[in-house]
Amino acid sequence: MTDREAYILLNAVPGIPPRTKHRLLGALGSPAALVRSSRDVLSELVAEQTAERIAAFCAAHDPQAFLTEAEALGARLVTLADPDYPGLLRSLADPPLALYVRGSLSGACHVAVVGTRRPSADGLEVARRLAAGLSAAGVCVVSGLARGIDAAAHRGALEGGGLTVAVLGCGMDRVWPAEHAELLEQVAERGAVLSEYPPGTPPLRHHFPARNRILAALSRAVVVVEARERSGALLTAEFALEMGREVFAVPGCVLNPRSRGPHQLLREGAHLAESAEDVLSVLGLPRSSPGPTAPLSEAEAALVDLLEEPRYLDELVRATGRAPAAVAALLVALEVRGVVRRLAGGRYGRAR
- pLDDT per residue over 266-314, tens digit each? 999 999 999 999 999 999 998 755 444 567 888 888 999 999 889 998 8
More confident call, 234 vs 340: 234
Fold of 298-350: Arc Repressor Mutant, subunit A (1.10.10)
What is the Cα–Cα distance from 331 to 327, expressed in whole angstroms? 6
Nearest to 134 by CA among 104, 105, 112, 103: 112
Q: Length of the chain, please?
A: 352
More confident call, 346 vs 32: 32
> Which class does domain 110-283 fall in?
alpha beta
Q: Provide the 3-class DSSP secondary structure of residue 342.
A: strand
What is the Cα–Cα distance from 212 to 205, expressed in whole angstroms? 12
Nearest to 195 by CA among 323, 90, 112, 78: 78
Q: What is the mean pLDDT of the chain?
A: 92
What is the Cα–Cα distance from 179 to 265, expressed in whole angstroms? 31
The letter for the amino acid at 106 is S
Q: Which residues contact 234 (CB under 8 A, 6 or more apart)?
A: 224, 227, 261, 264, 265
Q: How much of the chain exceeds pLDDT 70, in percent?
A: 97
Compute the Cα dihedral for 218, 223, 227, 231 and give only its sign. positive
The letter for the amino acid at 197 is Y
Question: What's the Cα-to-Cα distance from 78 to each of 20, 92, 96, 109, 154, rounded to whole Å?
Answer: 20, 16, 10, 20, 23
Whole-structure pTM value: 0.82
